[in-house]
Amino acid sequence: MVLLVPELTFLTGLSDLRKNSRMLKEVMWEMIQSPQQHYQRLTGLLCRIRDTPDASRELERWGLRLDTDIYRTQGHVLPAERINLRHRSFLPAEDLGWHREVTKEVPIAVLSINCWLLIYPKRLQHLGKDLLAAMRSSCGAMGMQVGQPTVQELRDDRIETYVRAIQSSLGSQDKVQLLLCIIPAGRDDVYGAIKKLCCVQTPVPSQVINAHSLTGHPGKIRSVVQKVLLQINCKLGGQLWGVDIPL
């Protein structure tokens, strides 16, 4: 057991990472790199250790020696699998991503959104209108239809206000397909309360969107809305794509 004196210790790490979008972007850039980039970073680290006298002496003191290159081995390369949509199939690009194809083609199974609820605080009403307009402009290429939602504007963004509004709306309407809520940035407590209500107490498919993700240039917002529509289609029982079985 290690006992730490509070006055002589301090926290480390990135606990407030999500509040700093610039730092989050830089950390994600460091984590999501190609194999060639990882190799260059590792070999660069080995070179810096070798060319730093203090580091070299410390390794020698421990009787350690680092090679100038990382260990190489031959890996098994799997063949690319063909991705099937409703009307066509294709091979994914080298980065193994096919978001562009899925958002511009009709998925295997699509469900339209006819009876749904849209809830947001009154101060975020401009984001609600922009979201609805973006959903309607993006759904056609995916073969989806987005009907007019039942909109409810909240007077504030407290947890109790969200919960009461959701319970009241679900209790007054039958066969609600989807509940979509916009919450302020950094409100994980509101997100947790909505998900608990919609998953445990009053089961209904739900989509919660952070207000921060709906701000920025139109291209970014369109990309976010396309991903939201794909998630909604899956939550309602749709199927985006498939592969040949057996592989």
Give the pair of three-digit tokens for residue 117. 């609820």
Question: How many Cβ atoms are within 10 Å of 211's Cβ, its own excluded?
Answer: 20
Cis peptide bond N-terminal to 107, omega within 30: no
Q: Let me know: does 176 contact 170? Beta carbons within 8 Å.
A: yes
Q: Which CATH superfamily is domain 103-243 in?
A: Response regulator (3.40.50.2300)
Q: Let me know: does 230 contact 72? Beta carbons within 8 Å.
A: no
Q: For the chain, what are the domain ranges?
A: 20-71, 103-243
Report the distance separating Cα 94 and Cα 79, nearest Å: 12
Residuewise pLDDT in 10s, the chain (247 residues): 677 777 777 777 666 666 677 777 787 787 788 888 888 988 999 999 989 999 989 988 988 888 888 888 888 888 888 899 998 898 888 777 788 888 888 999 999 899 999 999 999 999 999 999 999 998 988 889 999 999 999 999 999 999 999 998 887 777 889 999 999 988 889 999 999 999 998 899 999 999 988 888 888 888 999 999 999 999 999 999 998 876 5
SS3 for the chain is: CCCCCHHHCCCCCCCCHHHCHHHHHHHHHHHCCCHHHHHHHHHHHHHHHHHCHHHHHHHHHCCCCCCCCCCCCCCCCCCCCCEECCCCEECCCCCCCCHHHHHHCCCCECCCECCEEEEEEHHHHHHHHHHHHHHHHHHHHHCCCECCCEEEEECCCCHHHHHHHHHHHHHHCCCCCEEEEEECCCCHHHHHHHHHHHHHHCCCCEEEEEHHHHCCCHHHHHHHHHHHHHHHHHHCCCECCEECCCC
Give the pTM: 0.71
